[in-house]
Amino acid sequence: MDLNPAQRRQTSEGTSRSLSADIMVLVALIAILCGSLEVGREWHQPFHRTVEINLSPWALPYYTLLSFSRGVVAYGFSLIFTLLYARWAAYDRRAERILIPILDVLQSVPFPAFLAPLELLLVNIIPGSIFGLELTCILVIFTGQVWNMTFSFYYSLKNLPQDFAFVGKLARFNWWQKFTQVELPFATSGLVYNSMVSMAGGWFFLTVNESFQIGDQDFRLPGIGSYMAVAQSKGDVWAQIYAVAAMILMIVAVDQLVWRPLLVWSNKFKIEDTEAQYQDRSALLRWLSRSKFAAAIQNFFKNWMRRPPIPKAPISLPVPRPVSKIKIPWDYLLMPLAAIGVGIGVYHLFLLIMGVTLGEWLMIFEHLLLTLARVLTAIFLSTLWTVPVGVWIGSNPRWARFLMPITQIAASFPSPMIFPNLVFLIYFLHGNLQWGSILLMMLGAQWYILFNVIAGASAIPQDLIACTKLTHLVGWQRWRTLFLPGIFPALVTGWITAAGGAWNASIVSEYTMGANNQTLKATGLGATIEQSLTDNNLPMLGASVMVMAFFVVLFNRMVWKRMAVVARERYQLLT
């Protein structure tokens, strides 16, 4: 379903079939198959207590392939989880009351704090193979990707105009037809942009995931993250430069081969009656349009998702009443099981935190307030620059074509790789980690706001932009009447996911390593969690994580949810 009712006339460029295009598509498919087989072979390698990372630049292409494959697998799981979980929460009122608070907790809990027990658990479950380590790495990358995508799709479904829902009912769509013809096209633009920042978020803890060690036990995995970690530990500057260059090349290649074509393709789902003068193009899409193999694959997916003809009910005869079928009450079966599982977890957590003294509880709440102040400050400072930049990029597709790869590089680069240099700069300027941790949090939060603002600005119809030009609205008047209301729903989504990213990043922002492996700490809940993990203080760790989880849910219910309701009721884009 094309949500744009305008006639989208495309220039007749590259419509002729080309043998070279078919050959290149075939070669690309073979390369993907061979790369998948090589990655599968690597995942079945035996587990070794000591892993040697080759710092030769010739080893980097293979390491980059391994890291990229982990990100792709994690993204596949994230996309499936997003489509199922968000749709369930959006249309089931009873389940929504449980699913969304769970999502609030999961996106804010610092999963790297549980990397050690998770690593040991999966290694013991799958002994003799590094598949357990690979699964752990994919799971942690998954936690850095999925929450942002799920929130984006969930709020897109909640903001779906009633006109579209009515069209689905009028056409007698079933759930699959409504999903593929109405819901997914409406949410495509936001989902693509949030997929970009989610893929970037997955690389945030890449160095931590691939170079994890516990005492004398080595749980490192060959990859670009472990390559950079070893290069930093050995002080090999050239190897660090090689790793940065490989990371940049991978990001640019993914942007041009995946995200750029998807962004151009998603423009067909914009809600507008007037096309923009500049139509964005993708060289890869033009090239694929000349391949018979690509056309066959495209037709296969079209036939799979195509809406079947609507059956016509007989006019002269009454419509027979459908035979009632036995339905399994999944809600009534799953909810009690979930309640039992939560009850068991709460019971064990209660036994664990009984050892925490009153003074430690007061300290936890004090550190919570300090971390909250840093999170809100990081979001505020991030908003100051991401809103004008995001609106400018989203409303100028000609510039976006060149700026998006740069933005992708900045967002995708694993922040822990540059933490030591940024910490050195903070202390060089006679600062400290008490306020410097805010800058480190911004590295993990600002991109969620930027990409959501870009998505919101790019979705503003050209009709409205033309109206502001006709009425000579400029400056602040144009921002107040067009841009700020137009991007507000996407901005709220960005704030929600950025807050979760900032809470998650607090563990590495408030407790990090400086020069000469010196531990630097800021007073806050993230540092408390990391310190408890280092000291193996499980009661303190459980109490700190529990307080963070409950407070995040409470804050989201009282603040972010109300802002989302305002965005849906007052700033919804109607047709």
Query: Mutual orientation of helices 93-108 and 538-555 as an angle, nearest 10°?
Result: 130
Among the residue ranges 95-104, 114-123, 453-462, the one predicted with the least confidence is 114-123
pLDDT in tens, 28-53: 778 788 877 877 777 777 766 667 88
Confidence grade of residue 273 (pLDDT, cut at 50, 70, 90): low
Q: In the predicted model, is pLDDT for residue 318 greater than 60?
A: no
Confidence grade of residue 82 (pLDDT, cut at 50, 70, 90): very high
Residues 72 and 125: their CA atoms lie apart, in Å, by 24
Cβ neighbour number for residue 130 with a 10 Å cutoff: 23
- Look at residue 439 in the predicted model and tell me its pLDDT: 85
Residues 407 and 413: their CA atoms lie apart, in Å, by 10
Cβ distance 105 to 551 under 8 Å?
Answer: no
Q: In the predicted model, is pLDDT for residue 215 greater than 60?
A: no
At 513, is the secondary structure helix, strand, or coil? strand
Higher per-residue pLDDT: 356 or 289: 356
Q: Which residue has the tokens 């005869």?
A: 317
pLDDT in tens, 547-569: 888 888 888 888 888 888 888 77
At 49, is the secondary structure helix, strand, or coil? coil
- Look at residue 513 in the predicted model and tell me its pLDDT: 64
Cβ distance 514 to 520 under 8 Å?
Answer: yes
Q: In the predicted model, is pLDDT for residue 196 greater than 70?
A: yes
Cβ distance 555 to 138 under 8 Å?
Answer: no
At 395, is the secondary structure helix, strand, or coil? coil
Confidence grade of residue 111 (pLDDT, cut at 50, 70, 90): low
Q: Name the residue among 481, 457, 485, 461 with its Cα closest to residue 471.
A: 481
Q: In the predicted model, is pLDDT for residue 309 greater than 70?
A: no
Q: For the chain, what percent of residues have pLDDT higher than 90?
A: 7
Confidence grade of residue 383 (pLDDT, cut at 50, 70, 90): very high
- Look at residue 481 in the predicted model and tell me its pLDDT: 85
- Look at residue 325 in the predicted model and tell me its pLDDT: 46
Q: What residues are paired with 212 via a beta bridge? A: 219
Q: In the predicted model, is pLDDT for residue 64 greater than 70?
A: yes
Span 56-72, mean pLDDT?
88
- Kindly state the tokens that stand for 271: 């809600």
Q: In the predicted model, is pLDDT for residue 301 greater than 70?
A: no
Confidence grade of residue 381 (pLDDT, cut at 50, 70, 90): very high
Confidence grade of residue 379 (pLDDT, cut at 50, 70, 90): very high
- Look at residue 375 in the predicted model and tell me its pLDDT: 92
Span 110-137, mean pLDDT?
70
Residues 274 and 7: their CA atoms lie apart, in Å, by 9
Residues 63 and 86: their CA atoms lie apart, in Å, by 34
Span 460-477, mean pLDDT?
79
- Kindly state the tokens that stand for 411: 């967002």
Q: How far is CA 56 from the centre of its chain?
A: 32
Q: Name the residue among 552, 542, 548 with its Cα closest to residue 498.
A: 552
Higher per-residue pLDDT: 491 or 13: 491
Higher per-residue pLDDT: 401 or 242: 242
Span 369-386, mean pLDDT?
93
Confidence grade of residue 195 (pLDDT, cut at 50, 70, 90): confident
- Look at residue 323 in the predicted model and tell me its pLDDT: 46
Q: In the predicted model, is pLDDT for residue 152 greater than 70?
A: yes
Residues 220 and 227: their CA atoms lie apart, in Å, by 10
Q: In the predicted model, is pLDDT for residue 103 greater than 80?
A: yes
Which residues are CB-contacts of 22 (< 8 A; sequence separation ≥ 6)? 291, 292, 293
pLDDT in tens, 229-251: 788 778 888 888 888 888 888 88
- Look at residue 186 in the predicted model and tell me its pLDDT: 85
Tell me what the pLDDT averaged over the chain comes to.
77
Among the residue ranges 157-166, 333-342, 355-364, the one predicted with the least confidence is 333-342
Cβ distance 232 to 420 under 8 Å?
Answer: yes
Cβ distance 495 to 567 under 8 Å?
Answer: no
Span 88-92, mean pLDDT?
87
Q: In the predicted model, is pLDDT for residue 315 greater than 60?
A: no
- Look at residue 110 in the predicted model and tell me its pLDDT: 64
Q: For the chain, what percent of residues have pLDDT higher than 70?
A: 77
Q: Which long-range contacts (CB under 8 A, 24 or more apart) does 471-474 make?
A: none
Confidence grade of residue 334 (pLDDT, cut at 50, 70, 90): low
Confidence grade of residue 223 (pLDDT, cut at 50, 70, 90): confident
- Look at residue 205 in the predicted model and tell me its pLDDT: 66
Higher per-residue pLDDT: 271 or 234: 234
Cβ distance 262 to 192 under 8 Å?
Answer: yes
Residue 573 phi, psi (nearest 5): -85, 110
pLDDT in tens, 475-534: 788 888 888 888 898 899 889 888 888 888 788 788 776 555 667 788 888 888 888 877
Confidence grade of residue 351 (pLDDT, cut at 50, 70, 90): confident
